[in-house]
Amino acid sequence: MFLTAVLIYLGTLVVVGAWRSRQVRTGDDFLVAGRTLPARVLVFTLLSTWIGSGSLFAGAGLGYRAGFPALWQSAGAWVGIALVYFIAPRVRRLAQYTVPDILELRFGPAARILGTITTVLAYTTIAAYQFRGGGRLLELVAGIDPRTGALLTAAFCVVYTALAGMLSIAYLDIGNGSVMVIGVTLAVAFLVSDAGGLATALGSLRPEQVSLFGELSPQAALALFFPTLFLLLGEANMYQKFFSAKNERAARRAVIGWIVGTIVVETLIDSVGVFGSVAVPGLDTAGSESIVINVALQALPAGLGILLVCGAAAIVVSTANSFLLTPATNLMRDVYQRFVNPGATDRQVLAYTRLMVVALGAVGYIAGNFFPTILAMALWAYTMYGAGITPALLAALIWPRATPAGGVASILAGMTTTLVWEVVGLARAVDGVAAYPFGVETVYPALTLSIATLIVVSLATRPAADGPVTA
């Protein structure tokens, strides 16, 4: 029953996506939706892209284990979106295609190349744990081996993304976002009602589950907060969708709806995990990451369970689509068109971008097997991008004294520190938990070195003549 519902839902996406794909005629249509998206569409596609398996599995699983202090991870996004409100119009005014486009405008070709490498590493990992999340979903609803399920999810998302492009993805995310919001809202409402009301439901939780930090130390809480914050501030999907907006006003209005939707949906998803710890007790760390699906199967009436499972499928697919399309766009725009074939035709852009989606999907599926948990994958990818890209990107937009040497050095420092720290931590892992050098989470050295390098090298070198990127 649950598998049938998921297949019908995904089949509907394919049919609608195929119909919408007939409108994709140029590279601009595929990459930035012809720069025509209104605010109402942007809200749903931004929300559907941001709320992914990191929230559905890692966030809800952390909520199951730690309670509402799990929202420290989500809070980084809330603060980030609030700050993005002030830069969204400027980003749209630039009318570029990718974040490396902005980096090269200010810091030169080396920054474009390093930015592309960092984005591909981080975003392919994010797509990979969407596949892994889809594998867990199929395992629970149909008994399919999780690796086989991840492969099936990857195949579906690759085909769908290659077919659709931004023009189709953005409009289909209206449906994905609606199913997601309705599903988690009704699930929380049922869990609270079944427990005897909100006061009774909260009273059934352990005291640490409703405290500020709970079992998390302040250092651990901020290690959840900062990767999410810095990923969000530089998030390439977000910038690509701002480039897709029909004008600056649409971009700014979309941010308002996005922050409201993100706060509501992420709180609801974590709440499913928190209240699910009472409804479905006894899960271990790996099992807790599937709590949303377990609640749908074991705690909800069949109708609500089906809706929640379809919402989970929507979360996985919509996020995977965007996190495949963005690095494929980077490789197309920032490597092929910039350095290999600047005169590429629209037909070549469409064909090669689709091939890159396929290649990245294959790499992502393989990469997904090297991490112990979805949370570990999320924090690695968030830190890689947040430390590698965001300081330099923000400096390109708002800091006049940043120099090309400083920007390039910052990207390199953030990227390499994340790689080295994570490799060491995972190599020394105990029971699936990374053992980082000196007991310090990766985000602290990676961000510190990225920002410090940006400042020190910029102050020690000659500034660019043109200052912050403007239009």
Q: Please check the confidence at residue 89 and state whether its pLDDT lies above 80.
A: no
User: Does a structural domain hold residue 124?
Assistant: yes
Rank 150-159, 164-173, 451-460 by mean pLDDT and report only the highest: 451-460
- Whole-angstrom Cα distance, residue 177 to residue 110? 37
Q: How far is CA 411 from CA 250, 310, 326, 393, in A?
A: 30, 39, 18, 9
* 310-314 mean pLDDT: 89
Q: Please check the confidence at residue 186 and state whether its pLDDT lies above 80.
A: yes
User: Does a structural domain hold residue 416?
Assistant: no
User: Does a structural domain hold residue 446?
Assistant: no
User: Does a structural domain hold residue 105?
Assistant: yes
Tens digits of residue pLDDT in 418-446: 999 988 887 777 766 778 888 898 999 99
CATH of the domain at 157: 1.20.1730.10
| pLDDT above 90 as % of the chain | 45
Q: Which residues span the domain enclosing 143?
A: 2-369
pLDDT of residue 448: 96
Q: Please check the confidence at residue 138 and state whether its pLDDT lies above 60.
A: yes
Q: What is the pTM of this model?
A: 0.81
The model's confidence at residue 377, banded by pLDDT at 50, 70 and 90, is confident
User: Does a structural domain hold residue 443?
Assistant: no
User: Does a structural domain hold residue 454?
Assistant: no
pLDDT of residue 305: 93
Q: Say if residues 453 and 406 touch (Cβ distance below 8 Å).
A: yes
* 443-457 mean pLDDT: 96
Q: What is the 3 state secondary structure string of 183-223?
A: HHHHHHHHHHHHCCCHHHHHHCCCHHHHCCCCCCCHHHHHH
Q: Please check the confidence at residue 309 and state whether its pLDDT lies above 60.
A: yes
pLDDT of residue 435: 80
Using the Cα atoms of residue 409, residue 371, residue 286 and residue 195 in order, give the sign of their dihedral. positive
User: Does a structural domain hold residue 442?
Assistant: no
Tokens linked to 341: 């074939």
Structural domains counted in the chain? 1
Tens digits of residue pLDDT in 212-227: 999 889 999 999 999 8
For 289, the enclosing helix (H) or strand (E) is none
- Whole-angstrom Cα distance, residue 351 to residue 440? 44
Q: Please check the confidence at residue 361 and state whether its pLDDT lies above 70.
A: yes
Which of 14-23, 123-132, 457-466 is the least confident region?
A: 14-23
Q: Please check the confidence at residue 113 and state whether its pLDDT lies above 90.
A: yes
* 110-138 mean pLDDT: 92
The model's confidence at residue 347, banded by pLDDT at 50, 70 and 90, is confident
User: Does a structural domain hold residue 6?
Assistant: yes
pLDDT of residue 471: 46
For 421, the enclosing helix (H) or strand (E) is helix 404-427
- Whole-angstrom Cα distance, residue 451 to residue 178? 38
* 7-18 mean pLDDT: 79
Tens digits of residue pLDDT in 13-59: 777 777 766 666 666 666 666 677 888 888 888 888 788 878 888 89
